[in-house]
C-alpha cells in the first residue's frame, strides 16, 4: 500500500480500529490520480485493505471500487460507482465503513 497524504480512524468494530487513508498525486489541490482505502492494521503492522476507491486505469474503465470485503470468487471491481473525486470517494467510505467492516469479517473471518 502506498504512502498516504493523511490517515484517520473511521471507528471501531468488534474491538478492531478501522482507518481511512487518502492518497492524491500530484497534490490534493491538483489531483491526477487518487486512492482512498478503508483498512485495519494487524498487530505486526501489516495493513489489510477492506475497500478501496481509486482511479487507476483498467480496461473496463477508470474510477472504480475494489470491494475486498466480498466473498472469495465474487466480482470485486465495481466500475458503476457514483464517485468522481477523491473527496467523494472519501465521503463514500467514511459513510459506509461500518457495513464494509462487518461484511469483511463475515466473509473472511477475523484475521
Element containing residue 88 per DSSP (H, E): helix 86-108
Q: How far is Cα 47 from Cα 38, in angstroms, rounded to an integer?
A: 10
Give the containing element (helix H, strand E) for 108: helix 86-108
For residue 65, the model assigns a pLDDT of 95
Residue matched to cell numbers 480512524: 9
For the chain, 111 residues long, the average pLDDT of each consecutive 10-residue run is 87 95 89 94 93 85 90 88 94 97 92 69
pLDDT confidence of residue 30 = 84
pLDDT of residue 109: 85
pTM of the model: 0.91
Name, in order, each residue with C-beta under 8 angstroms of 7's C-beta and a sequence gap of 6 or more.
19, 20, 21, 22
Amino acid at each position: 500500500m502506498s504512502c498516504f497524504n493523511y490517515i484517520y480512524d473511521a471507528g471501531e468494530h468488534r474491538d478492531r480500529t478501522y482507518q481511512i487513508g487518502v492518497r492524491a498525486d500530484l497534490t490534493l489541490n491538483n489531483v491526477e490520480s487518487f486512492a482512498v482505502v478503508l483498512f485495519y492494521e494487524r498487530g505486526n503492522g501489516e495493513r489489510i485493505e477492506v475497500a478501496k476507491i481509486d482511479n487507476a486505469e483498467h480496461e473496463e474503465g477508470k474510477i472504480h471500487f475494489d470491494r475486498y470485503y466480498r466473498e472469495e470468487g465474487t466480482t470485486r471491481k465495481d466500475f458503476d460507482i457514483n464517485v468522481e473525486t477523491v473527496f467523494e470517494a472519501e465521503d463514500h467510505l467514511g459513510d459506509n465503513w461500518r457495513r464494509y467492516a462487518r461484511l469483511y469479517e463475515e466473509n473472511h473471518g477475523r484475521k
